[in-house]
Chains A and B, each alone.
Chain A
Amino acid sequence: MNPLGLIRQFVKGITTETEPPQIAAAVALGFLIGLLPKATLTAQLLLILVMALRVNFPMALLTIFATILVNPVFDRITDPLGYAFLTAPALAPLWTKLYNMPVLPWTGFNNTVLLGGLIFGLVMFVPVYILAKKGAVVYNERFKIKVMNSKLVKGLKSSWLMDWYFK
């Protein structure tokens, strides 16, 4: 396989998972990652998980960036939520144990926004997944043909790049 072929395979690989459940899972995971501070091991591990799973990677990336834009709003929910969990007396032994384990401090679990974001993102995972799946189905049913027949897409399809990609 030549280097160009490799690149083609790469692009194809990360854009082929286009079934509604794959798009929905990507959106839900992207939303979860987007909520978290990125310079932590947790966010990086979740990103690797997205890469490892058969979900639509571009959609996950798009959702991460979209969530980052509204982070200041979500922080108002996740910060107090995380703080409540981190300072709950009943959970203190668990956090203390994790805090004393090697590597785990790098996950940033003791950051209020990270823990709050993780909890909020997991709670919202199913609703976001269902909504995104419905959205994908609706798109496929109602808009996909229109979009594919639009001048922009047709123009793009007739370009050398698409020609090369679908070769």
Chain B
Amino acid sequence: MRWSYIIPRFTLLALVWAFFYFAFDPILKWAMIKGLEKGAKAKVEIADVKTSFLPPALRISALAVADSKEEYKNLCEFSALDLKIEGRPLLEKKFIIDKASLSGLKFGTVRKTSGKLFLAKEETPEFVKELGDSSKNFALDRAADIKTDAISSYKVDPDSLESVKLAKELEQKYNEDYKALSAKADFQKYQARMDALKADYEKAKGESNPLKKAGDYAKAGKELKKLSEDFKKDRAEIEKTLADAKNSIKAIEEARRRDTSSVMAKLKLPSLDKASLARMLAGPVVAANTEKAWKWLAIARKYMPQSANAKALANEAARGRVVHFPREKTWPSFLIKEMSLSGELGLEEPLDYNGSIEGITTQPKLYGKPLTAEIKGRKGARALYFSARADASGDALKTKTSLKYSGMAVNGFKLGSENSISVDVKGTGAFKGDFTTEGTALRGFAVFNITGASFLPKADAVKAAPVKDALLGAFNSLNSASIEADISGTLTSPKFSVDTDLAKALSAAFSKTLGSEVKKAEEEAAKKVDAALEPYRKKLDSLTSAKETELKEKLGAGEKSIGSFSDGMLKNLKEKAAPGGLKLPKFKL
């Protein structure tokens, strides 16, 4: 035996062992940091990662993810995450964790060092920008010297109007949709099926074998039922599209209102309707919080399967594709059955909370249970309750999230913007929010009430003394405030509406000092916008009503024809089939 043969091989094996003993954990830690930094677009720190193979376990200590928006703040941090992995499924490359624990979870903590990653670019969603800008762009410069003459001489360019753009888009969309709907409502395809059915029936009538005859009749009955169901389905779909089209026209009205405000802003005049004022006051704070929530949602969606058939991660393999086969004993690729959670909320006088998350998995259909989370916390008058449910076992991911936080001290809560009017509010706050999604559709409502409130308004942008005084005194009689936000639409194109009762007080103050002048100017601006929009709206209205009539006529004729055919055919089938005791399906149009 040669040493020159044994020693190299033994040394290489020793190097492999040394790698797992000394280098595996640091490399895993480095990979985790890089992966998380890519997702968070900010620095990530992990104090320690420890793995053990017998029994398989992983412990991550002191993880902090920096906030890409605030250089010296953390998005979140935790003290320890412990995962105990089951051995038998691991042999099949399945990571099943029966119990996990996450402790010391905190949000928004202060960092000593910068968390900025220099090459990472953080994009603010367009709707958040719009919401935030609603305060900055609120014009007050010329509030004191309004002249409707300025409006009269102002020329509105239709192409610059949001409502005109929307009307054009809708017209194009309707033309495409109606083309498809018209093809769907076309009676020719049903006529062909009715003819075929009639031929089958005649053929069955001439059949000498009674068993085959009964079978053919039953088949014809089934086909008749399917024909009727298909027509009903097409009709429902057409009617739904028509109803959706009508609803979309309502969006033009919203856009028209925004166009009026925009014209007023261009002329440096304030738009004093309550909705605009509410947007101006609550827009920035709702935008800032929505942006944070949107970021968490984006992270969650990235790692959450969107449906039972979707893969957990787009890049399941760095190279090539992974083909899955049926399993005799099935485990999801990754599953945390239950994870206990504890941490603190808030930086000054933190509120301790704890709870659990169940069913975190990459293959929800296989696991068969939805992900659920429940977190509770109580300290003195403060109470926190959070619950979430995500069900991806169907065709589309359905989520339901609810958050209630009451009794919190509100200090330095700022509404509005320095560019227009701002109000610092102090008091005791209570938040309640519900948010649901189904596929890409979303719906949410949040309300933040502040009781025992004191207000410190600032209106440095307003130069005219009477207007400024009226605005500064607008909140004197109030001792509470309520801010509401409503979200709908889709994840790619969400629609926001915000409201606050402070807007009512502000509107009253404005009206008192310069209400009539602003109102006149606003009416003038609305007229201008209406005049520019009118041709497009008329065109759209005539298009929708003409197409609607055409489709309804087609549907009516089809219904009549299929109805009479079905009745006749059913009667015949019943008569022919009754002697054999054949049971025909019941249906009606």
Contact = CB atoms under 8 A, between A and B. Distances in A.
Interface in B1-26: 3-5, 7-9, 11-13
A75 B93 CA distance: 24
Interface of B: 3-5, 7-9, 11-13, 88, 91-93, 317-329
Nearest to B11: A10
B93 A105 contact: yes
A75 B319 contact: yes
A9 B8 contact: yes
B54 to A, nearest CB: 16
B328 to A, nearest CB: 5
A52 B9 CA distance: 7
Given A1-B3, A102-B92, A105-B93, A83 B8 contact: no
A106 B93 contact: yes
A46 interface: no
B4 A112 contact: no
A110 B323 contact: yes
B323 A10 contact: no
B91 A103 contact: yes
A39 B5 CA distance: 27
A18 interface: no
A79 B319 CA distance: 9
26 contacts: A6-B11, A9-B3, A9-B8, A12-B4, A13-B7, A13-B9, A37-B317, A37-B318, A39-B318, A51-B12, A52-B9, A82-B320, A83-B323, A86-B323, A96-B325, A99-B326, A100-B325, A100-B329, A101-B92, A102-B88, A103-B91, A106-B91, A111-B322, A112-B322, A113-B319, A116-B320
B327 to A, nearest CB: 6
A13 B5 contact: yes
Q: How large is the interface on A (under 10, 10 to 19, 20 to 34, 35 or more residues)?
A: 35 or more
A79 B4 contact: no
B333 to A, nearest CB: 10
Interface in A54-72: 54, 57, 71
Nearest to B89: A102
Contacts of B9: 13, 51-52
Given A102-B92, A105-B93, A110-B325, A9 B320 contact: no
Given A6-B7, A13-B5, A92 B320 contact: no
Interface of A: 1, 6, 9-10, 12-14, 16, 37, 39, 51-52, 54, 57, 71, 75, 78-79, 82-83, 86-87, 92, 95-96, 99-103, 105-106, 110-114, 116
Contacts of B8: 9-10, 13-14, 51, 57
B7 A111 contact: no
Which 9 residue pairs across A and B have the least CB separation, nearest first?
A113-B320, A13-B8, A102-B91, A105-B93, A99-B325, A112-B320, A86-B323, A13-B4, A96-B325
Contacts of B326: 96, 99
B30 to A, nearest CB: 15
A95 B12 CA distance: 33
Given A6-B7, A13-B9, A37-B318, 18 more contacts: A6-B11, A10-B7, A10-B11, A12-B4, A51-B9, A52-B9, A57-B8, A79-B320, A79-B321, A95-B325, A100-B92, A100-B325, A100-B328, A100-B329, A102-B91, A106-B93, A113-B317, A113-B319
A16 B4 contact: yes
Contacts of B11: 6, 10
Contacts of A99: 324-327
Residue in A13, A103, A114 with the greatest tally of chain B CB atoms within 10 Å: A13
B5 A54 contact: yes
A83 B93 CA distance: 20
A14 B91 CA distance: 33
A5 to B, nearest CB: 9
Contact of B321 (A1, A10, A111): A111
B197 to A, nearest CB: 36
A86 B9 CA distance: 35
B99 to A, nearest CB: 23
Contacts of A106: 91, 93
Contacts of B324: 99, 110
